[in-house]
Every structure is written in C-alpha cells, then in structure tokens.
Structure 1
Amino acid sequence: MPGSGLPRLVLGGGASVLVDSDLAEYAECTVPVILRHQVRALWQVRALSPGTWRHPVFPDGYSDVVVTGALRVLAVGPSHRAHHQPIPAESAVVGARLRPGALSILTGMTADDLCGRVVRIGTLEPAGPATGDVMAALVAFLGQLTVPHTPSQVRALRACELVSTAVRAPSIRSVADALGISERSVRSVFAEHVGLPPSTFHQIRRLQRALVLGGARRLSLAEIAHRSGYSDQAHLCRQMRTLTGLTPGSVLSNVAPDPRALDPVR
C-alpha cells in the first residue's frame, strides 16, 4: 500500500531504517545505563495505515530481540539479506538491537547458529497494553544482559570495530595481529558473537555507511561509492542490490534525510 508521504531514512543505533511517513513511524528510546554495554538501541515501529504494513528491514550486522503482538519475545539472528516484517494495522512492534555477544547470553546459542533464524525465548507480561508498558516489560526481560563483558566478548567488540571502520575490507591476519590472537581465533570470535564472517560483516557495515551518506546529504552515487569504500559506482549498485534487493536509486531517491549520524560500532 503506497503512501503519499516522503520516505525518511532514519539513522541511529547502528542501523538505517526506511519508513514512509504516512504508513509508519520509527523511534528509538533511551537505553538504561545498566544495559548500554549490551544493548545498542531500544526501538519501536508503529504502523499508521489501515492495513498491514510490510516494514523493510535492511541488514545491519547485528541481532535483535523483538516482541510480537502476542507478546512473544523472539531472538532474531543476524542476516545478510533484507526482508519485510509485516506489522498489523495501527499496531506497534518493539525491540532491542544488541551488541555483539549479547544474543548468546540470552539464548545460550552461538550467533552463527542463529544466523537467519528467529527463536522464541520468552513471553512478556506487561503492566498494561500501551506500547510504553510493553517496552518497560522488555527492558525488565533484558535485565539478563546486565552481566559484564567476558574477555571473548571484549575481543568481539574490538574485532567488529576494526572491521566496521575499515574503508577497505581488512585481512583476517591484520585483525588477528591487532587483537594479538590467531586467525582461527578471529573466525571463532565472529562465529560465536557476531554470526557472520568478517568479510560479510564488513560488506554490511559498508552498506550502512553508504546509506548514511546517501540519506544525510545530496551526493552523487559515484561520490557515495568512493566515500563508502566501494571500488566504483557499479560496485555499490551490485552490493546494494545483493544486500537489500533494491538499487541505490530506489532506496535513496526522494528520501527525506535524518540529520543524525550512526554511532560507533561498539
């Protein structure tokens, strides 16, 4: 169902979210201090249309905990492809975008076991039906994430930062040398805590850089490609189509930019 409002590319909490202002609204809530070392963002998507809205979700390299309309708590593993999340008319979905390593704390499973999967991990009992009540119940559920970082998770966070901020994809050897561990350990860290190979994680974070540049200012596709780390405009177009199923023009044209920039990968 097309809307007449201008789509907005909302940037925050490590992800780019495309919404149509007539059909839905996206917002992020303040993460309690006690959860910030494990949770990147608390978010909600509210459908405003009279019919079901198919919310486009771009890969961002991270995992989420999502609460459905039935108050089921779902662990959503990382993905390397975009998908659409149906949201019933005039309803809301709330969730939390997690930092690397947090998903395994909640589920007891490694992130690569959850890649591309959705697993039920609980049911909420909010104080009331309002979205704020559900969000409060989710925050209470996420209290399990108040545990401190393990050494392995610290390595994962540092590895993700190294890979994410590199303009060109770094070699496994360079990441291993920076962390003082073996190449095999780098791959194990990504498998356990991220759920994606380092090269795929870099591709996804490079896509997010391109979306930031495309949504924050009016640049040519060639300039966006250059600043994001792609070899050329054709490379950007191929990668965006692979990861989102869309062309850069269809994603970025007629988008009302959000002035906020993505925060660091940590």
Structure 2
Amino acid sequence: MPGGGSGSAVGRGVAMTRVGGDRWRVTRPWPEPLRPYLHSYAGYWEATVSPFRVRIVPTGRAVVVISLAAPFARAHRLRGTGTAEHVVGSLVAGLEDGPRVLDHPGGQEAIRLELTPLGAYRLFAVPMRELTNRVVELDGVLGPRAGELVERLSAIGDWGTRFDLLDAALLARLERGPAPAPEVRHAWRLLARSAGAMPIARITAEVGWSHGYLVRRFTEQIGLTPKTSARVLRFHRAVGLLARGAVDLNEVTSACGFYDQAHLNREFRALADVTPGELAAARVAEGAVSL
C-alpha cells in the first residue's frame, strides 16, 4: 500500500493518488477499445474506516460501482416519488435528473466506472429508460455472472491484475451488446458537443426523424428525453466552470445558455438542491458533492 506521499506509482502503469484523508484513487490508462464508452474508470480504497455521505448530482452519465469491500448502505433520491434504495452489493445507476444522497459505512474498496449513455446502453443491453433515476444491484442488470466477476475481483489483491480482468470482461460484453441507432448517436453527439445548447428542433431536423419518434428512440437508448438531457448537460457544464473557482456567475449564466441568474439558480435548485454559490464552495468530484 502507498506511503505518506500524495501520489505513488505501483507498477504496470497503475498509479495511486491521495484524494483526501486516508482515501486513495487508483488508476491505469484504459485500453483503446474502451475509450469511446467511458468517461472515467478508477479504483478507490480507504486505509481507515470512516463513514461518509455524498450527494450525487446529474452528469449525463451512467455509473457502475463494483464493491470489493463494504458497499453503500443506502441510496436516497432527494426529489421525486422514489423511496430509499438499500444496496447490499455492487450497483448500477442510470442517468439522473435530480440529486441523490449515498451513505457509506466506511472502509470502501471499489472500482467506479462512469459510462457514456450509449456506452451504458451497449454494456447493459436493456432500455436505458428502465434505469432512469434508479440505483439497482449490478447482477440485476448484468446477470449472475456479474456476481462471479465481483468475487474474483475481490479475491485479487493486485490492482493491475484487477484491471486486466475487468478490462477483458467489459470488452467481451460490449462486443456482444446492442448497437445504438446512428440517428440517436448523432443526436447525442450534437447535444453533448454543444453542452445542451443546440435547440432540439435543429437536432430533429439534422437527424431526419419526427420529433415524437426522436424522443421515443432517444429516451430508450439514452434514458432521458432530449430536452431533459439538454438541461442536465447545461447544468453539468456550469458545475465544471464553477469548480474552477473565481468564475463570475454572470459569465457562467451567459456561457451555459441560461436566460439570467434567476434561471441559473432555479436549475441548480431543481437538479442539485443547492445554489450555485453553495456548490462552488463544496468539493465536487465525479458528480459527487461531499456532505
């Protein structure tokens, strides 16, 4: 295990970086074939047992958490009609349009993946709308072989070997997964590249489908409607600008396409249950706000 430095290379391209207290982030460059499907891929472990709570805010990404030790104890959506979801193992989280709080008992050791929506559609091989605003057990999506994979990963102490095993499993499943419709892929690319700023009518025209048909197919393969996806992507860009620090709210409002600061504030309340100022003051990492 690493010593007292802020970062440590442990061989085979694996690096460990301290991310706060006795919590470490473990990374290795992803294989080239995985890169179109992932936003992040990292292991985490804690040297001491310290319970924590984080608020997850919408990012326009799906998440897989493979728990190799203690899992999250509870996943509670702050808005909407959903009840608390008790997670006793590894989990899948679909795209969200509101905030969620996760409680962990401490002693975390896990691998966390952030997937593009279409990467998740291909990996999970289910309609993404079935996972929208939900947190479910990993084997409930990927089947019983997912549990076998988690057991094998847990039994391995070397992070490089863990990543080798998981890389092979991901590539094999992605190769068998459903291919997204080219029109949906193009619509998502247009939305994502504009950070939600491109009008839906223009996207519909470029794709060549009717508005209603685009909404149905897009929601099936992405998990959110085009309009809601645009809201989430605008919000996510604003969060990124605020995380850099010393950014004027007027600049964020203009750069992200909000009508005015009142609109910016309403969207932050709706999507994260915080004000822009509160979020800017918090430490945000991979869509999680420490509480």
Task: Determine the structure 1 residue equivalent to 2:179.
Answer: 150
Map 1:15-94 to 2 at 5 A: 21-22=20-21, 24-26=23-25, 29-47=28-46, 50-69=49-68, 72-94=89-111
How far 1:94 sits from its partner (Å)?
A: 1.2
2:234 aligned to which of 206, 222, 239 = 206
Which structure 1 segments of 5+ residues have no match?
1-18, 259-266
Map 1:107-256 to 2 at 5 A: 107-117=124-134, 118-120=136-138, 121=142, 122-123=146-147, 124=149, 125-126=152-153, 128-143=156-171, 144-146=173-175, 150=179, 152=181, 154-166=182-194, 169-253=197-281
Task: Determine the structure 1 residue equivalent to 2:122.
Answer: 105
Q: Which moved more, 1:120-129 or 1:19-28?
A: 19-28
How far 1:235 sits from its partner (Å)?
A: 1.2
Q: How many residue pairs are counted as aligned between the two chains? A: 238
Q: Are the structure 2 counterparts of residues 146 and 180 from structure 1 closer, same or farther at C-alpha, using a change threshold of 3 Å? A: same
Question: Deviation per CA, 1:240-261, whole angstroms, max 9, x where unpaired?
Answer: 1211111111111275x99xxx
Q: Are the structure 2 counterparts of residues 240 and 194 from structure 1 closer, same or farther at C-alpha, using a change threshold of 3 Å? A: same
Question: Deviation per CA, 1:188-216, whole angstroms, max 9, x where unpaired?
Answer: 23212110011111111111111121122
Structure of larger gyration radius: 2
How far 1:168 sits from its partner (Å)?
A: 6.5
Provide TM-score, normalisation by structure 1: 0.76
- Percentage of matched positions with identical amino acids: 24
Cα distance in 2 for partners of 1:64, 1:240 equals 21
RMSD between aligned residues: 3.0
Question: Deviation per CA, 1:18-75, whole angstroms, max 9, x where unpaired?
Answer: x973374556542211222222321334446642122332211121222123595533
Q: Are the structure 2 counterparts of residues 23 and 108 from structure 1 closer, same or farther at C-alpha, using a change threshold of 3 Å? A: same
How far 1:133 sits from its partner (Å)?
A: 4.4
Question: Deviation per CA, 1:145-175, whole angstroms, max 9, x where unpaired?
Answer: 13588360x3323212222343675443321
Question: Deviation per CA, 1:123-161, whole angstroms, max 9, x where unpaired?
Answer: 221251355544443323212113588360x33232122
Residue pair 1:29, 1:41 contacting (<8 A) in 2 also: no
1:95 aligned to which of 112, 118, 122 = 112
Q: Are the structure 2 counterparts of residues 224 and 183 from structure 1 closer, same or farther at C-alpha, using a change threshold of 3 Å? A: same
Residue pair 2:192, 2:233 contacting (<8 A) in 1 also: yes
The amino acid of 1:95's aligned partner reads: R
Q: Are the structure 2 counterparts of residues 158 and 189 from structure 1 closer, same or farther at C-alpha, using a change threshold of 3 Å? A: same
Cα distance in 2 for partners of 1:52, 1:38 equals 31
Residue pair 1:94, 1:134 contacting (<8 A) in 2 also: no
Task: Determine the structure 2 residue equivalent to 1:16.
Answer: none
Residue pair 2:95, 2:117 contacting (<8 A) in 1 also: no
Which structure 2 segments of 5+ residues have no match?
1-17, 72-88, 286-291
